[in-house]
Structure 1
């Protein structure tokens, strides 16, 4: 199996990340028309997330299926590309033809807020989520904070499994939906 690759987001990844976000949320909340919200999401992505966040993508060769075993250690078969995407010759400047985006995570560089943690539905229960969480923790080794919808039990269990603890109640600043604040400290 071709290994999972973690790499930095580039501007060319915008359409793929937004579509993955839409598809994932549509799977989790099928009663909501997330396609109608893509314009809002794109504006928020460009103005609020990209300027302040480190965004890490998880991908693998299109010909490969999503990794199936949730028990594979995060570093076994996972390659992390680093470098400056704007630098000619950098591994990050290569085209992404033939790659399948399986997930991404955004971490605000100043506040250590994990705003988006998205894994493709076909990769749920695999090492993709663990690899992205490990990347987020490396980017913010002093801690992470996040908000999670109270009705998203799957996500809450995942965060707890990865060392996050309940830190209080809140409301989503955009939707007003009840959320839990969660925090991870090493």
Structure 2
């Protein structure tokens, strides 16, 4: 499987939003992400697209993942991979691209109950940097950071 990375274009919005919905719904099936799509679309358009570099991962012309990185702050807001592609190297390609975009370092918040993501970030050189609460949902999160060696 060949993964191609490319910058986000406005025409990608619907597909990216749907990928976000599917992925989060798979990981947190008890939450109604269908109901959150309007909120997410507004956040996508008004917060992420204007401030972040958004890189898409495609295989066979299908969107299978994306990462958002604010180069000014080094904040990685989202890394999303299609559930049917988990474990296939796409997240690794996206995290490496995030590091390339922000060579001075990255920070992120990850839900405390997302063991899979926490293990992934640790595997890729991120370390714990405190605790917080998600500013939107209020749920507990770990702060994590990566700095080049």
TM-score bracket relative to the smaller structure = over 0.9
Partner of 2:47: 48
Q: Give distance in 2, aligned partners of 1:151 and 1:143.
A: 24
TM-superposed CA distance for 1:127, in Å, is 1.0
Q: Aligned residues, how many?
A: 148
Q: Give distance in 2, aligned partners of 1:60 and 1:176.
A: 35
Asked if residue 31 in structure 1 is aligned to residue 30 in structure 2, the reply is: yes
Runs of 4+ with >2 A deviation: none
Q: Which structure has more RCO (C-alpha within 8 Å, separation ≥ 6)?
A: 1
Secondary structure of the residue aligned to 2:63 is strand
Secondary structure of the residue aligned to 1:44 is helix
Partner of 1:180: 142
Q: Give distance in 2, aligned partners of 1:109 and 1:132.
A: 15
Q: Give distance in 2, aligned partners of 1:4 and 1:178.
A: 33
Q: Give distance in 2, aligned partners of 1:123 and 1:162.
A: 18
TM-superposed CA distance for 1:165, in Å, is 0.2
TM-superposed CA distance for 1:4, in Å, is 1.2
Partner of 1:154: 116
Q: Give distance in 2, aligned partners of 1:44 and 1:10.
A: 16
* Structure 2 residues not aligned, in runs of 5+: none
Asked if residue 130 in structure 1 is aligned to residue 92 in structure 2, the reply is: yes
TM-score by length of 1: 0.79
TM-score by length of 2: 0.98
* Structure 1 residues not aligned, in runs of 5+: 62-98
Alignment of 1:9-158 (within 5 A): 9-61=8-60, 99-158=61-120
